[in-house]
Amino acid sequence: MNHIVEAIGNTPLVKLNNVTDGIKGTILAKVEYFNPGNSVKDRMALKMIEDAEKAGLLKPGGTIIEGTSGNTGMGLALAAIAKGYKCIFTMSDKQSKEKQDILRAVGAEVIVCPTNVAPDDPRSYYSVARKLNQEIPNSIYPNQYDNPSNSAAHYETTGPELWQQTEGKITHYAAGVGTGGTICGTAKYLKEQNPNIVTVGLDTYGSVFKKYKETGIFDENEIYPYKTEGIGEDILPKNVNFDLIDLFIKVSDKDAALMTRRLAKEEGLFVGWSCGSAVYGALEYAKEHLKEDDTMVIVLPDHGTRYLGKIYNDDWMREQGWL
């Protein structure tokens, strides 16, 4: 390969064997930490940059400015190294220290912003990124939440991979919902192949998605602080196409953290926190609805190294009252 970004995609599907007790059907995990930046976000980060170049929005020597919970930043940083751009990332202060350190290690500038402010507050990581984009010449703000290249990357790569890897046998597809790109881009492709495929969106308590899907109401009372990183939102990103997501299941921080640890211990999958959310919620659905000949695929977005100071740290887990 000519550069590390050429290694993105074609990640393996791995059967879950031990956390699936009592569940009918086949449960497969799409293990996205095999991407070079150790997450699913490498796919859309590269696509957003390449589409910005084609549109003439990003010129040589330019600066990429993005609000990220960490993984999109890593993907953008790898693309930036390959193509000669600078990166500035804004993050909320709830994200793990490891994520900040990893981004700095690959040459990015990281600005940490408060979590518990409204999205339109000038201190929020969304607002700070937008302001920097206005101030810095030859810069772009890809805005993964509303950028159609995010969903398009998964329509072009993740969806076809799942269809081929399961030989068209996939009946259920489950993924956490944050920006919406992974779940909706993939679901669009899969439903074009077989409209009966059920898409299960995993949400978290403190996020607006589930209630909005069920009632059409954006309820600010649903918004409150939560600890899980990378899923749930206090906004409605344009990449979340609710027509493509058949239902939402909410998963608590604790259930997600404990399932993440089980995946490491019982399946050898050393994955990130929202992977536990995805598996816990998907299996709750599977217990009730999956039949013997069904095949469910769950996306595992990232790697456990991002969470060594949190869910893989016994002291931190005890402080939360979870161990």
Report pLDDT digits (tens) over 194-236. 999 999 999 999 999 999 999 999 999 999 999 999 899 999 9
Whether residue 154 has pLDDT greater than 90: yes
Per-residue model confidence as pLDDT tens digits over 68-104: 988 999 999 999 999 999 999 999 998 888 889 999 9
Question: What is the three-class DSSP state of 112?
Answer: strand
Question: Radius of gyration of the chain from Cα atoms?
Answer: 19
| pLDDT given for residue 189 in this prediction | 98
Express the helix, strand and coil content of the chain in percent, nearest 5 each: 45, 15, 40
User: What CATH code is assigned to 4-34+155-320?
Assistant: 3.40.50.1100
Do 41-140 and 4-34+155-320 have the same topology in CATH? yes
pTM (2 decimals)? 0.95
65 alpha-carbon distance from chain centroid: 18
In our burial notation (b when 16+ CB lie closer than 10 A, e otherwise), range 112-130 reads bbeeeeeeeeeebbbbbbb
The mean pLDDT of 122-144, rounded to a whole number, is 95
CB neighbours (10 Å) of residue 282?
A: 29
Which positions are annotated as active-site residues?
41
Reply yes or no on whether the pLDDT at 142 is more than 90.
yes
Instruction: Share the mean pLDDT of the chain.
Output: 96
135 Cβ contact partners less than 8 Å away, ≥ 6 residues apart: none
E strand or H helix that includes residue 174 = strand 172-176
Largest Cα–Cα distance in the chain? 57
Percentage above 70 pLDDT, the chain: 100
**Where along the chain do its domains lie?**
4-34+155-320, 41-140
Report the percent of the chain where pLDDT is more than 90.
96
CATH 3.40.50.1370 fits 41-140, yes or no: no
